[in-house]
């Protein structure tokens, strides 16, 4: 092979980009390597927060996070950044690198999809099919799982699906049986049974990634906005599968400021389902947004965690929330009321208050045993739960229950991605259902008042699409 001449400067050694589980760039001049390093470096949000609030930093907390490795003259980085690397090569050098594709592709499996896709789902699947890896962004109720199963059937590659919880794993296994007509494999939850389509809990996948990787030509990561967590990145970079697909209701990760790393690891966004399309097609219902002011006050000194702790313990505020819910139920409210807080103890306090007011409640938190969680979900599905109280983390992802009709935000949510997820719990359509979101605004606390105003803006923006 004769090396291409760059647009500026003399001929260089061949520029080669090898793609396996990661990208390996060889032959890049120093100027290009520096550009790539800069784009693969971000400010450490934990360091920035510690500095902003004058917390102790120590030696372990570094100001920068680096998502590349130098190995001699080779630059190694996540393969989701591969397309961006090629673009930078063209922009800076006027040439494209020679691609050496060593990703794993296995013999095709005999599989077919028995479902029927809505038009917007058909378009999403078609767009996904144009790229070998990338991210599908689609809101709650869009049918991400069904679209992914259609992709599996079309690509016909042995596939591993990475999830973060046992509940999600069981949901996927049930959908695989329904839409693909096959038994799903399971890696996690006490079992290790590999099948052509296998669902793995991320903890198990990381522990056994070397054992798993040779069996799969496609990896799908559900709720891929969790990818920047080291647990997920270790798994993603451990697979050399030819195809990679990230699924997310939202790609926002404003909590940690690391939004772009989703695409660095998983690839570019290949399709985004318009929220207006979901509403117009009947895939979701738009909730009414109601704000109620509280009289809660607190001497805020910049320590947000202490503020929320005081808020969650405030008896007058908690009594107000419980009374509002009781009044609503006594007036004939239909469906289950979902109350969310980011504190387990807060959920327990509100549950006790509601029970004392004659309301039947169920608690779904990290303290709830897995077998009891399944029973509670079944009770909610069958309409036998008046109020379900849950932590944000547990209810935010992978909880599919159309019987939830009203969402009560017992603690404020600051970040759009998380708010979108939890609001999505009451947007599942059901005959005769009307959905609403009740947001408590603590007007005496400026930081919480601003947070409430931001939520109002978010809802207006969602309404406008």
One domain, residues 265 and 310? no
pTM over 0.85: no
Task: Give SS3 for 20.
Answer: coil
Of 231, 247, 279, the residue at which a domain comes to its end is: 279
pLDDT at 380 (0 to 100) = 86
One domain, residues 69 and 163? no
* Per-residue DSSP letter, 18: E
One domain, residues 399 and 381? yes
pLDDT at 174 (0 to 100) = 95
Establish if 388 belongs to a structural domain.
Answer: yes
pLDDT at 397 (0 to 100) = 57
Name which of 40, 35, 32 is nearest 15 in CA terms. Answer: 32
Range of the domain at 158: 119-279
One domain, residues 439 and 295? yes
One domain, residues 246 and 313? no
Q: Are 222 and 161 in contact (CB under 8 A)?
A: yes
One domain, residues 449 and 303? yes
CATH at 38 = 3.30.780
pLDDT at 359 (0 to 100) = 96
- For tokens 């938190």, the residue is 365
Q: Are 407 and 338 in contact (CB under 8 A)?
A: yes
One domain, residues 263 and 310? no
Spell out, as residue ranges, where the chain has pLDDT lower than 70: 1-12, 53-54, 226-228, 250-258, 396-399, 464-465
For the chain, how many structural domains are there in total? Answer: 3
One domain, residues 297 and 267? no
One domain, residues 155 and 253? yes
Establish if 78 belongs to a structural domain.
Answer: yes
Chain centroid to Cα 168, Å, comes to: 12
Q: Dig out the tokens for 116 from the structure.
A: 């029927």
Establish if 434 belongs to a structural domain.
Answer: yes
Q: Are 405 and 434 in contact (CB under 8 A)?
A: yes
CATH at 192 = 3.40.50.300
User: How do residues 358-386 score in pLDDT, each as one tens digit?
Assistant: 999 999 988 888 778 878 888 888 888 99
Per-residue buried b or exposed e for 312-329, using 16+ beta carbons within 10 Å of the residue's own CB: bebeebbebbbeebbebb
d(CA 33, CA 24): 12
Name which of 221, 276, 224 is nearest 253 in CA terms. Answer: 224
Name which of 101, 187, 115 is nearest 145 in CA terms. Answer: 115
Counts for the chain of helices (H) and strands (E), in that order = 18, 21
- For tokens 């050496």, the residue is 100
Establish if 325 belongs to a structural domain.
Answer: yes
Of 101, 130, 148, the residue at which a domain comes to its end is: 101
Beta strands in 267-425 (DSSP E): 269-272, 288-294, 336-341, 361-364, 387-391, 404-409
């Amino acid at each position: 092979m004769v090396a291409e001449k760059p647009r500026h400067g003399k001929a260089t050694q061949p520029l080669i980009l090898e793609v396996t589980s990661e990208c390996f760039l060889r032959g890049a001049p120093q100027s290009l390597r520096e550009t790539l390093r800069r784009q693969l470096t971000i400010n450490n949000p934990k360091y920035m927060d510690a500095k902003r609030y004058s917390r102790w930093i120590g030696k372990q907390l570094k100001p920068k996070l680096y998502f590349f490795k130098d190995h001699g003259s080779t630059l190694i980085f996540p393969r989701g950044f591969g397309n961006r690397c090629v673009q930078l090569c063209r922009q800076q050098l006027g040439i494209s690198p020679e691609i050496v594709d060593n990703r794993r592709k296995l013999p095709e499996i005999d599989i077919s999809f028995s479902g029927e896709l809505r038009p917007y789902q058909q378009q999403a699947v078609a767009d996904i099919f144009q790229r070998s890896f990338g991210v599908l962004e689609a809101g709650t109720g869009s049918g991400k799982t069904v679209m992914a199963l259609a992709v599996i059937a079309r690509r016909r590659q042995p596939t591993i699906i990475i999830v973060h919880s046992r509940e999600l794993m069981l949901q996927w296994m049930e959908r695989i049986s329904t839409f693909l007509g096959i038994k799903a494999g399971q890696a996690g939850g006490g079992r290790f049974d590999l099948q052509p389509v296998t669902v793995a809990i991320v903890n198990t996948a990381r522990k056994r990634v070397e054992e798993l990787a040779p069996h799969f030509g496609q990896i799908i990561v559900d709720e891929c906005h969790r990818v920047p967590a080291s647990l997920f990145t270790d798994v993603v970079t451990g697979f050399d599968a030819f195809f990679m697909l990230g699924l997310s209701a939202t790609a926002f990760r404003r909590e940690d400021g690391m939004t772009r790393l989703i695409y660095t690891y998983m690839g570019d966004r290949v399709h985004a389902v318009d929220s207006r399309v979901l509403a117009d097609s009947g895939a979701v219902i738009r909730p009414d947004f109601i704000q109620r002011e509280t009289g809660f006050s607190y001497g805020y000194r910049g320590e947000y965690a202490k503020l929320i702790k005081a808020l969650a313990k405030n008896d007058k505020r908690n009594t107000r929330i419980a009374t509002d819910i009781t009044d609503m139920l006594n007036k004939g409210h239909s469906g289950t009321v979902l109350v969310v807080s980011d504190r387990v103890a807060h959920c327990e306090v509100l549950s006790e208050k509601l029970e004392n007011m004659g309301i039947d409640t169920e608690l779904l938190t990290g303290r709830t045993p897995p077998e009891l969680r399944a029973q509670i979900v079944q009770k909610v599905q069958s309409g036998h739960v008046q109020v379900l109280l849950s932590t944000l983390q547990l209810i935010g992802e992978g909880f599919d229950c159309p019987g939830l009709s009203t969402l009560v935000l017992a603690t404020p949510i600051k970040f759009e991605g998380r708010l979108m997820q939890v609001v999505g719990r009451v947007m599942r359509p059901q005959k005769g259902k009307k959905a609403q979101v009740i947001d408590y605004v603590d007007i005496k606390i400026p930081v919480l008042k601003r947070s409430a105003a931001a939520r109002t803006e978010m809802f207006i923006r969602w309404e406008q699409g």
